[in-house]
Amino acid sequence: MAIGSRPPPPQFWPKLRRVLGGQTGWGGVLGQLVLVAFVVWLGYEIVANARANMQAQRIASGFGFLSQTAGFGVSQALIPYSESDSYTRVFVVGLLNTLLVSAIGVALATVIGFAIGLGRLSPNWLLARLAGAYVEIVRNLPLLFQLLFWYLAVLATLPNPRQSITLLGWVFLNNRGFVVAEPVAHASFWPVALALGIGVGIAFAAHALARKALFDNGRVLRIWPVVLGSLVGLPLVVALALGAPLSFEAPVLKGFNFVGGLRIIPEFVALTLALSIYTAAFIAEIVRAGILAVNRGQMEAGSSLGLSCGATLRLIVVPQALRVILPPLTNQYLNLTKNSSLAVAVGYPDLFSVFAGTTLSQTGQAVEIIVITMGVYLLISLITSAAMSFYGWRVGMGLGAT
């Protein structure tokens, strides 16, 4: 604590008064109580009024619709889905699609954003200017416009399925998306996967051991042969003993489109690209600000300790910069997730499109569906920011700051 002070005497009533009414005295307490009562009454009035209006108009209400048959198709479902499934299933399908786009978008945006942000700080004149131009162009154009550009402009240049661009007959690119051979699991799949899991475990243990040796005794252990052996060698031995775990089934053109194979639809690609390219421009500026916020002396101190440039960045500058970067970075992650609700503009079946769009207009239950959808986005946002706070706390722990 900056200034040593005497602890205030434990007084209950003044404390309560301060909590409730600031220094305005009991009048303030009364004011707060009136305000709370007012807010509660307001909330009650809104709900009651909406109910009364809906009943007067005989609009269906309640959550019974969730078990009704949806009766419409969805172009991408991560779980088995058909038209005869219920609206609940549609909800899950949409939610998973939203999560997929958000997760991949966040990862991609982070990578691009860090690259551009570091590029802008580079002593290389051309690189710095290019990175600067990227940021200025991308962040100043509306996202919806960029989304439609990626979708329509890029889609229009791709050939139809019969004239697909192909790579050896295993990978196809056309205006229906990106089709790759589908992996088919064999009997030896699970043993090999198990071996890989064990390998990962061994690698982590080796890493922890090496770290302990470094910090406790200052010894540097060479662990890469162990890591390589456990990650690659172990599964390989099992695979050689039991046979290949996977084989690939090539897609074939049949009628209008390819049958078999895994297909990534263009809507997904366009949405992910647009979201991550757009968000990356903001992340780049955050990264730049974060690094500039670290005192130059830190870099010099690093090199005077004999650390290489990369090691100084990695061990000294970035951990300190991260404390500045993380909170606004969290905001960008949340923005990306929420912006993914633009999906319907390019026909990607995200939560907002299939649930707050199609389901809403089929059932007309706007209140229930908007409440559920808002709750879900809120939950995703809260979980993301909790995870980021936890990460920030870990980083802070590492710096011995808290």
Partner 1 sequence: MVAVNPLTCLPHHPVMRGTVDLPRGRIRPGARGHPQCRVILKGCVMKRLLVAMLAFVAATVSQSAGAQTLKTVKDRGSLSCGVSQGLPGFSAPDDKGNWTGLDVDVCRAVAAAIFDDPTKVKFVPLSAKDRFTALQSGEIDVLSRNTTWTSSRDTSLGLNFTGVNYYDGQGFLVRKSLKVNSALELNGASVCVQTGTTNEQNLADYFKSNNMRYEVIAFASADETVKAYESGRCDAFTSDVSQLYSERLKLAAPSDHAVLPEVISKEPLGPVVRHGDDQWFDIVKWTLFAMIDAEELDITQKNVESKLRTDNPEIKRVLGSDGNLGEQLGLTKDWVVRIVRGVGNYGESFDRNVGPGSKLGISRGLNRLWNQGGVQYAPPIR
**Interaction between residue 402 and partner 1 (CB under 8 A):** no
**Interaction between residue 37 and partner 1 (CB under 8 A):** no
Q: Kindly indicate which of the ranges 85-93, 156-164, 209-217, 316-324 contains the residues binding partner 1, using the contact rule CB under 8 A.
A: 156-164
Burial class (CB in 10 A: 0-12, 13-18, 19+), 379: exposed
258: DSSP letter: E
**Interaction between residue 256 and partner 1 (CB under 8 A):** yes
Residue number, 64 or 225, with CB nearest to partner 1: 64
CA dihedral 28, 34, 35, 38 (to 10 degrees): -170
Q: How far apart are CA 28 and CA 39, in angstroms?
A: 16
Q: Are 249 and 261 in contact (CB under 8 A)?
A: yes
57: DSSP letter: T
Which of the residues 106 through 145 are near partner 1 (CB under 8 A)? none
**Interaction between residue 361 and partner 1 (CB under 8 A):** yes
* b (16+ CB within 10 A) / e for 63-77: eebbeeebeeebebb
Distance between the two ends of the chain, CA-based, in angstroms? 13
From the list 16, 36, 37, 46, which residue makes contact with partner 1 (rule: CB under 8 A)?
A: 46
How far CA 62 is from CA of 59, 109, 149, in Å, comes to 10, 39, 40
**Interaction between residue 57 and partner 1 (CB under 8 A):** yes
Q: Residue 356 Cβ, how far from partner 1 at the closest point, in Å?
A: 9
**Interaction between residue 400 and partner 1 (CB under 8 A):** no
Q: Kindly indicate which of the ranges 55-63, 229-237, 282-290, 322-330 contains the residues binding partner 1, using the contact rule CB under 8 A.
A: 55-63
Q: Kindly indicate which of the ranges 70-78, 179-187, 313-321, 375-383 contains the residues binding partner 1, using the contact rule CB under 8 A.
A: 70-78
Which residues bind to partner 1, rule: CB under 8 A? Answer: 1-3, 5, 8, 18, 22-24, 38, 42, 45-46, 49, 52-54, 56-60, 71-75, 83-84, 148, 151-152, 155-156, 158, 160, 175-176, 254-257, 259, 266-267, 344-347, 349, 353, 357-358, 360-364, 366
